[in-house]
Structure 1
Amino acid sequence: MTSLETAPSRNAETHASVPLCVDLDGTLIRSDLLVESALALLAKQPLMAFAMPVWLLRGKAYLKQQIAQRVELNPAALPYNEDVVAWVRDQQSSRTTILCSAADAKLATLVADHVGGFDAVIASDGEHNLSGANKAKVLVERFGERRFDYVGNAKVDLHVWKSANAAIVVESGSQLSSAAAGVTLLERTFTHGRASPKHWLKALRVHQWIKNVLVFLPLLAAHRVFEPHALISAALAFICFGLCASSVYVTNDLLDLAADRQHRRKKHRPFAAGIIPLYLGPVVALLLLVISFSLAWFLTPTFVLVLLGYYVLTTAYSLKFKRMVMLDVIVLAVLYTTRILAGAAAIQSRPSFWLLAFSMFIFLSLAMVKRYTELLAAQKSSSIKAAGRGYVVEDLSLIQSLGGSSGYLSVLVLALYIDSTASQSLYRHPHYLWLLCPLLLYWISRTWAIAHRGVMHDDPVVFAVMDNVSRGLLVLAAIIVIASI
């Protein structure tokens, strides 16, 4: 964020006699407390989504109050506009400062106490929504016309600036400051960057679409790669799952803001960091979901049902299951395996029992790696449990034991498949496939060794894609499979 003083400095004595009124949402913080609190409530009690419209019928101020009474926000974890905070603190040493927000008084007071130095807090009280013209009226009644300076960030603040002595503008462009300069003295602007396409790609986690390559496995396992219709169907299934997964990722990020902000890496995600406005999240999530299911109708009804099941289960995971010990990792393994089921449904092929069994065990092991890595990071930071999870650091040895065992069971399933009639009917040289077993044993053992040493990526699937050794083993495995056909 950059700061620019646009008006000549006023006489120090005059400046000190003019109180400074500071907006909260979008100004002091890069977020909106109404959206923050509503999401926090929905994460804890999803059924409250039905109560919110009823509260809104009694007014926006009442809605804010009812939500605020049911949540506990950590003001220290909110994404602050640090340049604005630093400037306000500098002003506090020489004049009266007021935090003036449309947020509910309870939440506004929490932020004021955390930042410190404010002489008073003026906020919505359950009956009056302190926004726009209402805020201007209250400030004029308290200080007088043109007897206060105001810091704001939105067009609705023009109502306040019309009655203010000077405007301090927080914006991402220059239009708002130009409009403010038309109604009062423009004293200073704080400019921050807008969300770029790179930020949106990160928010949608397009890089995670690599997981959806699993929908091609039934195509490969059935040796139907050179059938154009099957290949197109699998590609469309890949896109559908990518869009659906991105919708869920956005929803998960919105519901998991508090935990993400305590995480060393996740706190930089666009929504958690306040780079992308929170209110855009639900809109984008819904749009992606509609497009995903619209495209799915071009495939089979079975595929649509599998995609629906995936969405319901992954939403349930985001809302509840990820905080339930052991059930969370089993659900993760099921979600990966569901992609294989979807791939089979898309090409109208019967899913392989061997492939599904192998998938469950290998991805259960990787899910355990993920939890182990999170717990190890919590232990290093002197925490007793991982944020937003049900595990405690004492579970480390248990997770390591179960995860390693699950990985080795996937090797056993592979070995049994190689020795079955199913492989003999598909491969001319099935005995070559035995070479896959030591490769997989090595990869699983190495993955757990890296996790044990505390240098594993937060997402082991991303690790597998980025790791050079894993890539090399994948190439060797592909050569072995091709030689077996």
Structure 2
Amino acid sequence: MASMDAIDRSEPDHSQPSSSRNPASSARTRPVPLCVDMDGTLLNTDSLIECVFALIKDWRALFAMVGWLLKGKAHLKQQLALHARLDPALLPYNTGLLTWLHGQKRLGRRLILATAADHVIADAVARHLRIFDEVIASDGVNNLRGTAKAEAIDRHLGGQPYAYAGNDFSDLEIWRHADSAVLVNAPKSVCKAAAEVTQIEAHVDDRAPWTRALLKALRPHQWVKNILVFVPIVTASALFDLAAWGDALLMFVAFCCTASAIYMINDLTDLAADRQHHRKRNRPFASGALPLYHGPIVAPGLLLLGGALAALAGAFGVVVLYAVCSILYSFKLKSMALVDLFMLAALYTIRLFGGGEASGYPVSLWLLGFSSFVFLSLAIVKRVAELMALPPENKGKPAGRGYRAGDLDILRLMGVASSFTSCLVLALYVQSDLALGLNALDALYWAIVPLMLFWQCRLWLATSRGKMHDDPIVFAAKDPVSWVVCGAVFAIVAIAHLPV
């Protein structure tokens, strides 16, 4: 069979082919066609699941899917493909396999894309890659999976011997009919089963373990935002109420679980937009590092766990409100100019309410006023950073957002004004009758005002210089100066509570 050296990362040096025989030598004696599976093999994703998540934001599509499925899975695939219109240029391809296939093409081997996906998607992928001679795919009537695909290949080739590249147990039936197998990122159990029914031509295994990708998909670096649940305890001068800290800690974990679930849902429903972003394209689902089916399994579990922990802390309703608002934001509101900014600010504020509800120290109107302006400013920082980082191919408009590059000036103005207004509210509180007399050293609170103003001005300066991560909280978590400011504020609060 025609073949160049395959990549086999199961070998110690990760560079040598793991063919059961020499492919180059076989090419001279038996040049059979190579049929290549698409989902999970050529693509590091599943096109059917991609189509579902591309349409899931439209509630009308959910009802339509039920009707399509009643007419058969092949019809469902066809309608999903027609309505989703996946862009083949954005799909995550198996680069190791593509390199290997290009080598086969140069050697003159006949390449056939043989997939259970619908012809609409398969033809688009074949046109994009320009290495396949023919396409065998489902057609709205026949669902070419397993035995049906093996029969379709036999008919197409007229009984001629062929090799087949696949990745899972559904491909075993094809391998039983094939002359040889190319195993692509296949589990050990699949490799063993394939070896029992045909000879192995080559292995291509270049995918990293999904466990690390799953952890990355949870975005643990974003959990720093949930520290906001402890703020009501600090502002209520209850630093030594251990029971309140324990309940707030439960809420912290509840928000971490819920937020991670929402991040996964957001990533699944925003695949195309993420793949057009210079950094978000590396997210686990968008890049294909994590199979899409993990999302519908893990996200509901995290939501249930977050709700259970919030119920233990006595703030179940707050977490439900946070989840509902987050899902609304992910599905619709983030594409609406200005509405998205106020919703982002609200999601920060809900964390404060959650901490106050769990700890027994409700959020005061002063804290609400101050935090609302701070969080609005941070939300605007996020959007300004995204607009400034737009690549030329986006033509001044980020995918999935309601802004364009020309909005930068007015957004900066609104954001800086929000920063200064927040510090004005803080100054008024420090001087108010409510704050005066709380502690013997309450005059120290005045030092917090310039510290907060300095910190926010620093964020805006970093944004103006193009150094801002598109999430200011993540930027602050990695910024030593932000940690110094945070430590100074906490020290001021602690010293103000010292007995005199």
Please give the alpha-carbon distance, in whole angstroms, between the structure 1 residues aligned to 2:186 and 2:178: 22
How far did residue 315 of structure 1 move? 0.3
User: Residue type matched to 2:27 in 1?
Assistant: A
How far did residue 233 of structure 1 move? 1.0
Aligned to 1:156: 170
Q: Contact 1:172–1:194 at 8 Å: present in 2 too?
A: no
Whether 1:293 aligns to 2:307 is yes
Aligned to 2:94: 81
How far did residue 305 of structure 1 move? 1.4
How far did residue 48 of structure 1 move? 2.1
SS of residue matched to 2:435: helix
Please give the alpha-carbon distance, in whole angstroms, between the structure 2 residues aligned to 1:395 and 1:439: 29
Please give the alpha-carbon distance, in whole angstroms, between the structure 1 residues aligned to 2:49 and 2:205: 23
How far did residue 196 of structure 1 move? 4.4
How far did residue 475 of structure 1 move? 1.6
Q: Contact 1:173–1:191 at 8 Å: present in 2 too?
A: no
Aligned to 2:146: 132
SS of residue matched to 1:298: helix
Whether 1:358 aligns to 2:363 is no
Q: Contact 1:204–1:246 at 8 Å: present in 2 too?
A: yes
Please give the alpha-carbon distance, in whole angstroms, between the structure 1 residues aligned to 2:36 and 2:48: 17
Per-residue CA deviations over 1:188-240 (Å, capped at 9, x if unaligned) read 01113343443222100112111011111112222223223222111111111
Give 2:272's match in structure 1, choosing from 230, 236, 258.
258
Q: What's the TM-score once normalised by structure 1's chain length?
A: 0.95
User: Residue type matched to 1:64 in 2?
Assistant: K
SS of residue matched to 1:2: coil
Q: Contact 1:379–1:393 at 8 Å: present in 2 too?
A: no
Aligned to 1:2: 7
Please give the alpha-carbon distance, in whole angstroms, between the structure 1 residues aligned to 2:47 and 2:339: 32
Q: Contact 2:233–2:359 at 8 Å: present in 1 too?
A: yes
Give 1:415's match in structure 2, choosing from 418, 424, 427.
427
How far did residue 379 of structure 1 move? 5.8
Q: Contact 2:381–2:472 at 8 Å: present in 1 too?
A: yes
Whether 1:227 aligns to 2:241 is yes
Aligned to 1:69: 82
User: Residue type matched to 1:404 in 2?
Assistant: V
Judging changes above 3 Å, is the alpha-carbon distance between structure 1 residues 186 and 146 closer, same or farther for their aligned structure 2 residues? farther
Please give the alpha-carbon distance, in whole angstroms, between the structure 2 residues aligned to 1:294 and 1:472: 35
- State the percentage of identical aligned residues: 43
Whether 1:171 aligns to 2:185 is yes
Please give the alpha-carbon distance, in whole angstroms, between the structure 1 residues aligned to 2:458 and 2:339: 25
More deviation in 235-244 or 68-77?
68-77
User: Residue type matched to 1:267 in 2?
Assistant: R
More deviation in 312-321 or 47-56?
47-56
User: Residue type matched to 2:96 in 1?
Assistant: D
Tell me the number of residue pairs that the alignment of Structure 1 and Structure 2 aligns: 481
How far did residue 387 of structure 1 move? 2.1
SS of residue matched to 1:458: coil
Aligned to 1:273: 287
Aligned to 1:49: 62
Per-residue CA deviations over 1:143-190 (Å, capped at 9, x if unaligned) read 244611111111110100100111111125433222212111210011
How far did residue 252 of structure 1 move? 0.4
Give 1:386's match in structure 2, choosing from 382, 398, 410.
398
Judging changes above 3 Å, is the alpha-carbon distance between structure 1 residues 379 and 272 closer, same or farther for their aligned structure 2 residues? closer
SS of residue matched to 2:266: helix
Judging changes above 3 Å, is the alpha-carbon distance between structure 1 residues 11 and 209 closer, same or farther for their aligned structure 2 residues? closer
How far did residue 20 of structure 1 move? 1.3
Give 1:330's match in structure 2, choosing from 337, 342, 356.
342
Moved over 6 A (4+): none
SS of residue matched to 1:62: helix
Whether 1:314 aligns to 2:319 is no
Gaps of 5+ in 1: none
Note the 1:88-167 alignment, pairs <5 A: 88-93=101-106, 94-145=108-159, 147-167=161-181
Q: Contact 1:172–1:192 at 8 Å: present in 2 too?
A: no
Q: Contact 2:48–2:117 at 8 Å: present in 1 too?
A: yes
Judging changes above 3 Å, is the alpha-carbon distance between structure 1 residues 11 and 297 closer, same or farther for their aligned structure 2 residues? closer
Per-residue CA deviations over 1:246-276 (Å, capped at 9, x if unaligned) read 1000000101111111112111111111111
Whether 1:198 aligns to 2:212 is yes
Give 1:424's match in structure 2, choosing from 402, 418, 436.
436
Aligned to 2:48: 34
Aligned to 2:456: 444
How far did residue 382 of structure 1 move? 6.5
Q: Contact 1:146–1:164 at 8 Å: present in 2 too?
A: no
Aligned to 1:213: 227
Whether 1:60 aligns to 2:73 is yes
User: Residue type matched to 1:30 in 2?
Assistant: N
User: Residue type matched to 2:167 in 1?
Assistant: N
User: Residue type matched to 2:375 in 1?
Assistant: F
Please give the alpha-carbon distance, in whole angstroms, between the structure 2 residues aligned to 1:291 and 1:5: 44
Judging changes above 3 Å, is the alpha-carbon distance between structure 1 residues 244 and 412 closer, same or farther for their aligned structure 2 residues? same
Aligned to 2:27: 12
Please give the alpha-carbon distance, in whole angstroms, between the structure 2 residues aligned to 1:244 and 1:107: 34
Please give the alpha-carbon distance, in whole angstroms, between the structure 2 residues aligned to 1:59 and 1:148: 29
Please give the alpha-carbon distance, in whole angstroms, between the structure 2 residues aligned to 1:11 and 1:231: 69
SS of residue matched to 2:436: helix
Q: Contact 1:378–1:386 at 8 Å: present in 2 too?
A: yes
Per-residue CA deviations over 1:31-50 (Å, capped at 9, x if unaligned) read 0000011101113x144223
More deviation in 137-146 or 208-217?
137-146
Judging changes above 3 Å, is the alpha-carbon distance between structure 1 residues 320 and 382 closer, same or farther for their aligned structure 2 residues? closer
User: Residue type matched to 1:478 in 2?
Assistant: F
Gaps of 5+ in 2: 1-5, 9-16
Judging changes above 3 Å, is the alpha-carbon distance between structure 1 residues 228 and 472 closer, same or farther for their aligned structure 2 residues? closer
Please give the alpha-carbon distance, in whole angstroms, between the structure 1 residues aligned to 2:226 and 2:44: 33
Please give the alpha-carbon distance, in whole angstroms, between the structure 2 residues aligned to 1:12 and 1:188: 13
Q: Contact 1:172–1:193 at 8 Å: present in 2 too?
A: no
User: Residue type matched to 1:413 in 2?
Assistant: V
Judging changes above 3 Å, is the alpha-carbon distance between structure 1 residues 105 and 213 closer, same or farther for their aligned structure 2 residues? same
Q: What's the TM-score once normalised by structure 2's chain length?
A: 0.93
User: Residue type matched to 1:81 in 2?
Assistant: N
Q: Contact 1:146–1:163 at 8 Å: present in 2 too?
A: no
How far did residue 348 of structure 1 move? 2.9
Q: Contact 1:177–1:189 at 8 Å: present in 2 too?
A: no
